[in-house]
Amino acid sequence: MVQATPFLLVLCLALGAQGLSEKKCSLTGRWVNDLGSNMTIRAVNANGDFAGTYHTAVTATSNEIKVSPLRGSRGQGPNQKGQPTFGFTVNWSFS
């Protein structure tokens, strides 16, 4: 969860801007944080479900860090403040 925190902050800031409608919300693409970790989200389906990969650049060992799969879901409508919501989990793959 520690490595996901910077991504959540960046995504919340990017998607939570005032006046951003749900139609303008696009999660697809490559997201990179200031530590060099990156997350790639593929297309979001009609149900709001999406999948992708997460590759962390942060480690406390010399072992190879593998790309890890992620799954998530975008809310079907905006929250009470009119902002889009989403969540995701990462299934970590370490060697």
Pairing of strands 68-74, 29-32: unpaired
**What digits encode the pLDDT tens for the residues 9-65?**
455 545 554 444 445 678 899 999 999 999 999 999 989 899 999 998 888 878 788
Q: Which fold would CATH assign to domain 25-76+84-94?
A: Lipocalin (2.40.128)
> How far apart (Å, rounded) are the C-alpha atoms in residues 92 and 68?
5
> How far apart (Å, rounded) are the C-alpha atoms in residues 68 and 54?
5
pTM above 0.75, yes or no: no
Report residue 72 as tokens.
């998530």
